[in-house]
Amino acid sequence: EAQVTQNPRYLITVTGKKLTVTCSQNMNHEYMSWYRQDPGLGLRQIYYSMNVEVTDKGDVPEGYKVSRKEKRNFPLILESPSPNQTSLYFCASTPLTGADYGYTFGSGTRLTVV
């Protein structure tokens, strides 16, 4: 089944403890992106990647890092999480060639930083 898989689904951590949220897609999509969703603010893009080894900042990149060493994986790294990073995170991907069917989103990761 074509999908974007995020792990973990839920995570509670403490301030300052480094964490990684993994994202993997099995559709050979070139473009991948991370969003966070907060009440009243909609979805905001954190980082995106056009292809392997190519990443760029979105609207709210502060406090986050990403890497794209392989086409299928796009992990989101929080080096020193803070409570204001408590949010619902979504990974998404889309092909850059062929028909346009928009983004495919993962099921989300609900992160709580205490």
Partner 1 sequence: LAKTTQPISMDSYEGQEVNITCSHNNIATNDYITWYQQFPSQGPRFIIQGYKTKVTNEVASLFIPADRKSSTLSLPRVSLSDTAVYYCLVGVPIKAAGNKLTFGGGTRVLVKP
Which residues are at the interface with partner 1 (CB under 8 A)?
4, 31, 33, 35, 40, 42-45, 48, 50, 58-59, 88, 90, 92, 94-97, 100-108, 110
Supply the minimum distance, in Å, between the C-beta of residue 16 and partner 1: 27
Nearer to partner 1 by Cβ, of 51 and 82: the residue is: 51
**Alpha carbon distance 110, 36 (integer Å):** 10
Q: Which residues pair with 87 in a beta bridge?
A: 111
Instruction: Report, in Å, the least distance between residue 81 CB and partner 1.
Output: 21
CB atoms within 10 A of CB 100: 8
Query: Least distance from C-beta 6 to partner 1, angstroms?
Result: 9
CA distances from 56 to 86, 106, 111 (A): 22, 20, 23
Give the DSSP H or E segment for 37.
strand 31-38
CB 27 within 8 A of CB 19: no
- Which residue's CB is nearer to partner 1, number 62 or number 100? 100
Provide the minimum distance between the beta carbon of 80 and partner 1 in the complex, in angstroms, as a whole number.
26
Residue 38 or 79 with smaller CB distance to partner 1: 38
What's the rounded Cα separation, in Å, for the pair 55 and 61? Answer: 11
Which of 39, 114 has the CB closer to partner 1?
39
